[in-house]
Amino acid sequence: MKRDEASTVLLLAAASLCLYWLANWMLPVTDPVECNYVQTAKEMLESGDYFSPRIFGNYWYDKPGFFYWELIAAFRIFGINDFAARMFPGLFGVAGVLMTYFFARHLYDVRTAFFSAAILATSFGYWLISKTIITDLTLFVFFNAVLVFFYLAYTGRNKRLYYLCYLFAGLAVLTKGPIGILLPGLIITVFLCFTRNFSEIKNMKPLGFLLFFAVVLAWYGPMTYLHGRDFIDNFLGVHNVLRATVSEHPMWDVWWYYSVLFFIAFCPWCFTLPMAVRHYIKLRRWPEIDETKLFLLVWALVINIFYQMMATKYSTYTLPALMPIAILAARFLLDREILFRRVLAVWLALQVLLTFFVMLPFVRWKDSCWETAQVLRERVQPGDLVINCGDYKVSIPYYSGVTMVQVEKPEVIEEKRPDGKSWNAKNVMPFMSIYEIPRDRRVYLVLNNRYYDQADTFFNMSEWTFLGEFPRNRLYVREASR
């Protein structure tokens, strides 16, 4: 690599890291998803058991171990704080940008590499997930590494690179589950069907599956041995099969979900799609599709079509498709460098402003209960009880360090109790009947604002002293009866 290119790569990495880490020390962990991850990692760290994910003292099989290990490592280095929780998503964000640069450079040239990496790095969805405490940036790197090394081996002479496909597929499965090998495998299969180059299969190092299984079984094997049927039913049955067949959020199970999401996630570079369509319509011909463009298109389209067919829709599922889309967009913008540089400059400035004036206030006041947790942390004494009425916010026990019990009517508790066959399996927080709330202890009540008008159906509110109102809840206390 020449000195000028090395400087460009270092600048790209540094700028991306600054963008992804900017103000992270001021961004509280949000409900509901981020707090599940950090609370699990926190309890694993405190228990000394870095193997079996747990939350509220219960084993928790929502995701494999790799992402929790990232959080534990960050917590051990920097302590349990907001910056540490968001550190590894930012680092993997930079890794994804650099991987895009070097892959695009191999496919085309240095200019395409820089355009591709810059487009990906600043895409709204990629930027947002690089600051978010979820598994998707880690999966992005491992998932796409499988496809990168496949194509490098497929088009080159060094077939030993196929072994890296198996290695990264194993890491992807350790991060998210079976999708880490099934979907990259589907993309490769579809590509080989289009090219009809089935003879390549014999070069794909089938012994690499031994490497894949060695990586995967390092966690899945002991988990199956330690937790048996409970692990299999919950991890595979609920969090994989059920997720694919029964929508967790039925309102989003619509045919246009990922089409609309593309324009949001790929903002501001999404304008390249209608611009390219218009360009080729004026030329009255289809763009030329060589083998490389075919691979990139298959990569992007199969991801989107596959997840569109799944019952449960999540905005982050199609994130890996942004890499091939960024490379294709870069090729289109090569002849429009002035436009590219203007959009890049304006959007970078907007992302900095969005961080401080939109993301920071929204998260601090609307998407996290850290302020409620601080009050509880200062007031709650040993022997006190903290109960919650309404939507359970994990950020409260995470930040306060106190146990918070969900109170419901007895019949509702039975309806919500985990049964291993439905989404109730996620209800592992402690429950208590409203009729069992003790009177011989000081009790703090966290009342969700949405349930304020119904509070009298649960409690005699005249017995409770109002302590404060927060963006998402109200806080009360009832002293112990003498």
pLDDT score of 288 more than 90:
no
Q: Which amino acid is at 51?
A: F
Q: What percent of the chain has pLDDT over 90?
A: 76
pLDDT tens, position by position, 419-478: 766 666 777 889 999 999 999 999 999 999 888 888 888 888 889 999 999 988 999 999
> With bands split at pLDDT 50, 70 and 90, how would you rate the model's confidence at 343?
very high
Residue 396's pLDDT is 96
pLDDT tens, position by position, 165-198: 999 999 999 999 999 999 999 999 999 999 999 9
> With bands split at pLDDT 50, 70 and 90, how would you rate the model's confidence at 255?
confident
Q: How far is CA 79 from CA 46, 55, 71, 87, 392, in A?
A: 12, 19, 10, 12, 25
For 477, the token pair is: 């206390």
Q: Which amino acid is at 349?
A: A
Q: How far is CA 31 from CA 51, 128, 159, 208, 399, in A?
A: 24, 16, 45, 40, 12
CA-based torsion, 30, 145, 232, 419: positive or negative: positive
For 19, the token pair is: 């963008």
pLDDT tens, position by position, 142-165: 999 999 999 999 999 899 999 999
CB of 142 closer than 8 Å to CB of 175: yes
Quote the mean pLDDT of the chain.
92
What are the residues whose beta carbons fall under 8 Å from the beta carbon of 395, sequence distance 6 or more? 28, 29, 30, 31, 35, 368, 369, 370, 373
Calculate the CA dihedral of residues 288, 290, 295, 296 and round it to 10 degrees. Answer: -40
pLDDT score of 96 more than 80:
yes
Cα 331 from Cα 323, distance rounded (Å)? 13
Average pLDDT over residues 380-400: 94
Average pLDDT over residues 227-246: 79
Cα 263 from Cα 298, distance rounded (Å)? 19
Nearest CA to 98 out of 77, 74, 70, 121 is that of: 121
Nearest CA to 90 out of 141, 39, 157 is that of: 141
Q: What percent of the chain has pLDDT over 70?
A: 97
Higher pLDDT, 419 or 328: 328
Average pLDDT over residues 82-108: 97
pLDDT score of 361 more than 80:
yes
> With bands split at pLDDT 50, 70 and 90, how would you rate the model's confidence at 348?
very high
